Amino acid sequence: MKKCLLFLFITTSIYAKDFNVRDFGAKADGVSLDTQSVQEAIDACTKNGGGRVIIPSGKTVLIGTIYLKDFVTLHIENGATLLGSTNIDDYATDTHKNMYKNEPHMDRCLIFAQGATSFAIEGYGTIDGNGYFKNFTRETGRPMLIRFMNSNNIHLKDVTIKNPAAWTSAWLYCNNIVVDGITIHSRANNNGDGLDFDGCTNVRVSNSSFDTSDDSICIQASLQDKPSKNIVVTNCTFTSKWAGMRIGLLSRGNIESVTVTNCTFNDIDDSGLKIQLNEGGEMKQMTFSNLVMKNVPRPIFMTFAQQKACVDAPEAMYPMKAMHHFIFNGIIADNRGLDKNSAIFITGMPDNYITDIQLNNIQMTVSGGGTEEDAKKTEFKEYTLDVLGGWWPEFHLVGTLPAYGIFARHVKSISINNVQVNTVKEDQRPPIVFDDVMHSDIQNTKANNSLINRAKYINQ
């Protein structure tokens, strides 16, 4: 008898840590709004010291905004769907805001946490934002799926996240983040970023897949005293309507110590690695290695300029600080199926150089087709405030480059070693062109199997 009672006590203790939303009144029929039931399960879970809030398999749970709390694991079982409401009024207005200027229509979100510790979203189920154009527009408001703020020890594992009305996630000033084994598909609406880390430290993203209508992963720093640093991205796949990885834009604070390795980039409309400092912070110490890209027009696109991106930016423009120490090693880029505007493009500003760059062990295939007129081009727009016109430093503002492989300007200390560039069609442009570049070194580099020992210099 005592053994039976002990068994019952142990069993009850174990299962008491699971809080099934149906036990809190959730209909889980995909039609009834279950926000209150899910929130009551979360509240009970954290009140009892933590555990799992269960979204049961085979069920669809429809919600508006919910708030994750300490020691809660939101467990979405295999075959379960957590579905966002299509009614903007079901999304709370106390979930902070989007940190980019001119975008208040993305202030609301579906899942929010602030000042929380040790919580997670996991399981092989799905979070579906229901964010189609027919449901959400700029005029109605377009809620993000996830926003976490000033929180620590966060895990996001194994779930599929799809159809956000805006960004999939914004992580503001959080520490110790693990993202592993997730799938993001965000093509239902515009601005469908995947993971946006703003002022976050100790971030590890691995074994994940992204198919996004905007940047798949962003690393940024909207506050001067909240740097983004110690960030690792590995074993991921990227497809995007814009950039695979974007580092910067929001850059009032420093961004440093970033490692990206063992990733593939396919069918990216803008850039594979888009690295942009423009709001007065310092960007430094980053490595990118073992990357394979196909149909990625700018495998590497780096800019150092001035522009205000943050919603809370002061009226005065920021001074330019420093952008330095980047290593790119082991990259294969096959862009034979694209047009002539497929190249590595690195540009600082006059008297404000990007410094200390290494390009090592890179193989590039491009379509070619550049004309003699393209090759003679010596005047290019700088990313000055009048050229930017209040928006971001984008490639189209400069246009066709004078090189089919690498074009660098306003750069100090760049080394190119063991790089191969091949064209499918004839191209009248040289493979490598420098403009206002100091302390360069080119070794073991070939274009169409011919050895290159120096770049073409213009304006010098």
**Is residue 10 pLDDT above 60, yes or no?**
no
**Going from the N-terminus, what domains does the chain have, and what CATH number goes with each?**
17-170+177-189 (2.160.20.10)
At 37 the pLDDT is 98
Kindly state the percentage of the chain with pLDDT values over 70. Answer: 96
pLDDT tier at 68 (50, 70, 90 boundaries)? very high
Pair 211, 187: CB distance under 8 Å = yes
At 227 the pLDDT is 98
Average pLDDT over residues 358-380: 97
Between CA 59 and CA 26 the distance in angstroms is 10
By mean pLDDT, which of 6-20, 158-172, 218-232 is the weakest?
6-20
DSSP assignment letter at 367: -
Pair 408, 401: CB distance under 8 Å = no
Pair 374, 380: CB distance under 8 Å = no
DSSP assignment letter at 79: T
At 129 the pLDDT is 98
Between CA 407 and CA 151 the distance in angstroms is 41
pTM of model > 0.85: yes
Write b or e for each residue in 382-417: b if 16 or more Cβ atoms lie within 10 A of its Cβ, otherwise e.
bbeeeebeeebbbbeebebbbbbbbbbbbbbbbebe
Between CA 125 and CA 96 the distance in angstroms is 27
pLDDT per position as a tens digit, 192-203:
999 999 999 999
**Residues recorded for the chain:** 460
Nearest C-alpha neighbor of 170 from the set 214, 232, 125, 118: 214
At 315 the pLDDT is 85
Pair 455, 441: CB distance under 8 Å = no
Average pLDDT over residues 383-409: 96
**Is residue 8 pLDDT above 90, yes or no?**
no
pLDDT tier at 1 (50, 70, 90 boundaries)? very low
Q: Are strands 406-423 and 432-443 parallel, antiparallel or unpaired?
A: parallel
At 254 the pLDDT is 98
pLDDT per position as a tens digit, 305-329:
999 999 998 888 989 999 999 999 9
Mean per-residue pLDDT over the chain, rounded: 95
Pair 409, 382: CB distance under 8 Å = no
Average pLDDT over residues 249-274: 98
As separate numbers, helices (DSSP H) first and strands (DSSP E) second, the chain gives: 4, 35
End-to-end Cα distance, the chain? 93
